[in-house]
A and B are shown apart, each in its own frame.
Chain A
Amino acid sequence: MDTLLNNLDLFIGGFTTTVILFAWSAVFALVLGLIVGAMRVSPVPSMRAVGTVYVNLVRNTPLTLLMFFFAFGYPKLDLPQLTFTTLAICALSLYTATYVAEALRSGINTIPLGQAEAARAIGLGFGQSMTLVILPQALRAVIPPMMSVFIALLKNTTVAAGFGVAEAGRIRADLSERGEPAIIVLLWVALIFVLLVALLSIAQRRLEIRWKVAR
């Protein structure tokens, strides 16, 4: 307990960065994932191809590798200098977007065929049947898996700590300079993560009950 209380500043700072990373990456991943997910079911073959290649390629790339590129490769490209935190958000968003897109696509797949057929039968085009009929239902079906994606994202933010972002995973390195035993620090970090994940799981269950599609 002392380890936590005496170094509360570092713990709070670390987890604040974690939450910031999580929030920004979640927003960007959601936007990018929506676009990619829509591309994957679109009528235009080349869009489908781009979406599929992106998802398959990035899903089979370790997140650590993406981070590695952004942390060490990007600064060599003479592009606008960004902080490690921003770069970590880029990597996390690009990576998580593929999972968002996949969750979305399988959500769309759970919609009964009749829905899409009926939408077409009353003369709606692709855009209309997507936004008015399919997506509103798919989003509901997609909430539980989407929350799982975000839980994974929350845990994945720790990878950023390996690349110099002063994040929850980094607390150990900072505290070992203050002479705190590593194991206790790490167990506290793990415990806080368990609590955060539990929080998200509760939110997941709530949303799931609330948005359940009666079918």
Chain B
Amino acid sequence: MSSVLFDVPGPRAVRRGRIIGALTIVVVAAIFAFIIYRFYDTGQFTAKKWELFTFPYVQGQIVEAMLNTLRAFAVAAVLSLVLGLILVIGRLSVHKWISGPCIAFVELFRAIPLLILMMIMYYGLPPLGVSFVTPFVAVVTGLTLYNGAVLSEVFRAGIESLPKGQSEAAYAIGLRKSQVMRMILMPQALRAMAPVIVSQLVVVLKDTALGFIVTYQELLYTAKQLGGQFQFDSPIIPSTIVIATIYISLCLVLAGVAKLIEIRTRSSRSGKSGKKKGQAPVVLEGGAVLPVK
């Protein structure tokens, strides 16, 4: 699209573009240089602050923390996919007494901040005599409830984007409601929404970082711990850099998978006269799905 917004630049526009481009690079470089200089100036690059990360024990701790993050992510991802499927089936049910509660559930849990959900689990339940709430349980339950609700909306968007003829034809050949859903609608909806679903999983991965606040021992928690080591001159910034690199790489890998799926589904569809060309739907935080035009 961006190519349609402007002409192929002529000589003057090329010159102007070069100047603006150079200016952008200078500004960005200046911002970076300033940040790096502040880091340097306050001694963030001294060997003493980084020595900590050379110890195998500390490295093991970081790996363990990463595994904790991934564990919470994996469990929450699977559970929220399951919950999302259940909710969307309930929501599309023709029985009001099934669809009503499902709609209420989805709307409620999309509106409550995830952190408050985790806090309700972690601080709210134990005084009531619920004893199995570890930070892990709190994080996973919070993530599952919220993302299950969001994913059910994504599934619904996928199902509703299918041509009506699909379900009509399925009913016409005598399939039952559950069969139509299972054999006709779901497979197509899941395929159409695969990139969005994976992007939502990136959100799950990102949100595991909230576990830090309810004392789940994940990456950020470890960053805080390592950053507080006095004998290494409190390397909070080095440890943030290390942990941030890990977090961002994990998310980028998952986002890359989403991109890959998007490209593959698009290319496999381009042969047909499918109504969906152009880009895949964009999912925003909070589960709003932008329409495909």
B86 at the interface (CB under 8 A from A): no
Would you call A76 and B42 a contact (CB within 8 A)?
yes
Would you call A186 and B120 a contact (CB within 8 A)?
yes
- Which residues does chain B contribute within 8 Å of A130, judged by CB atoms? 5
Would you call B113 and A116 a contact (CB within 8 A)?
no
Would you call B206 and A68 a contact (CB within 8 A)?
no
* A109-B293, A152-B286, A190-B116 known; A61+B1 contact, CB < 8 A: no
Q: Give the Cβ gap from B270 to chain A, nearest Cβ, in Å.
A: 18
User: Chain B 7-36, CB within 8 Å of chain A: the 1/0 string?
Assistant: 101000100010011101100100000000
Q: Give the Cβ gap from B197 to chain A, nearest Cβ, in Å.
A: 17
Interface residues on B, range: 35 or more
Partner of A68, one of B39, B220, B287: B220
B266 at the interface (CB under 8 A from A): no
Q: Determine the distance from Cα of A47 to Cα of B7 in the docked complex, in whole angstroms.
A: 17
Q: Give the Cβ gap from B10 to chain A, nearest Cβ, in Å.
A: 11
Closest 10 interchain pairs by CB?
A: A148-B288, A162-B213, A183-B124, A62-B209, A60-B251, A152-B286, A64-B209, A46-B21, A155-B113, A197-B111
- Which residues does chain B contribute within 8 Å of A109, judged by CB atoms? 1, 278-279, 293
Q: Determine the distance from Cα of A63 to Cα of B115 in the docked complex, in whole angstroms.
A: 12
Q: Determine the distance from Cα of A109 to Cα of B24 in the docked complex, in whole angstroms.
A: 24
A214 at the interface (CB under 8 A from B): no
Measured CB to CB, the nearest residue on chain A to B115 is A158
Q: Determine the distance from Cα of A134 to Cα of B2 in the docked complex, in whole angstroms.
A: 11
Q: Give the Cβ gap from B106 to chain A, nearest Cβ, in Å.
A: 13
Would you call B244 and A69 a contact (CB within 8 A)?
yes
Interface residues of B in 226-241 (CB under 8 A from A): 227, 234, 236-237, 240
Binding site for A on B (CB under 8 A): 1-2, 4-7, 9, 13, 17, 20-22, 24-25, 28, 38-39, 41-42, 44, 108, 110-117, 119-120, 123-125, 127-128, 202, 206-210, 212-213, 220, 223-224, 227, 234, 236-237, 240, 243-244, 247-248, 251-252, 255, 278-279, 282, 284-288, 290-291, 293
Measured CB to CB, the nearest residue on chain A to B259 is A56
Would you call B115 and A162 a contact (CB within 8 A)?
yes
A117 at the interface (CB under 8 A from B): yes
- Which residues does chain B contribute within 8 Å of A73, judged by CB atoms? 236-237, 240
Measured CB to CB, the nearest residue on chain B to A162 is B213
Would you call B125 and A194 a contact (CB within 8 A)?
no
Partner of B115, one of A56, A57, A149, A159: A159
Would you call B223 and A46 a contact (CB within 8 A)?
no
Chain B CB count within 10 A is highest, among A57, A76, A129, for: A76
Would you call A77 and B39 a contact (CB within 8 A)?
yes
Would you call A103 and B120 a contact (CB within 8 A)?
no
A79 at the interface (CB under 8 A from B): yes
- Which residues does chain A contribute within 8 Å of B220, judged by CB atoms? 62, 64-65, 68
A9 at the interface (CB under 8 A from B): no
Would you call A190 and B112 a contact (CB within 8 A)?
yes
Q: Determine the distance from Cα of A158 to Cα of B206 in the docked complex, in whole angstroms.
A: 15
A161 at the interface (CB under 8 A from B): yes
* A68-B223, A152-B284 known; A50+B28 contact, CB < 8 A: yes
* A63-B206, A149-B285, A169-B116 known; A120+B7 contact, CB < 8 A: yes
Would you call B5 and A151 a contact (CB within 8 A)?
no
Q: Give the Cβ gap from B139 to chain A, nearest Cβ, in Å.
A: 12
Q: Give the Cβ gap from B226 to chain A, nearest Cβ, in Å.
A: 12
Q: Give the Cβ gap from A79 to chain B, nearest Cβ, in Å.
A: 7
Would you call B17 and A103 a contact (CB within 8 A)?
no
User: Chain A 67-91, CB within 8 Å of chain B: the 1/0 string?
Assistant: 0110011001111000000000000
Q: Give the Cβ gap from B148 to chain A, nearest Cβ, in Å.
A: 16
* A44-B20, A61-B251, A149-B286 known; A186+B119 contact, CB < 8 A: yes
- Which residues does chain B contribute within 8 Å of A120, judged by CB atoms? 4, 6-7
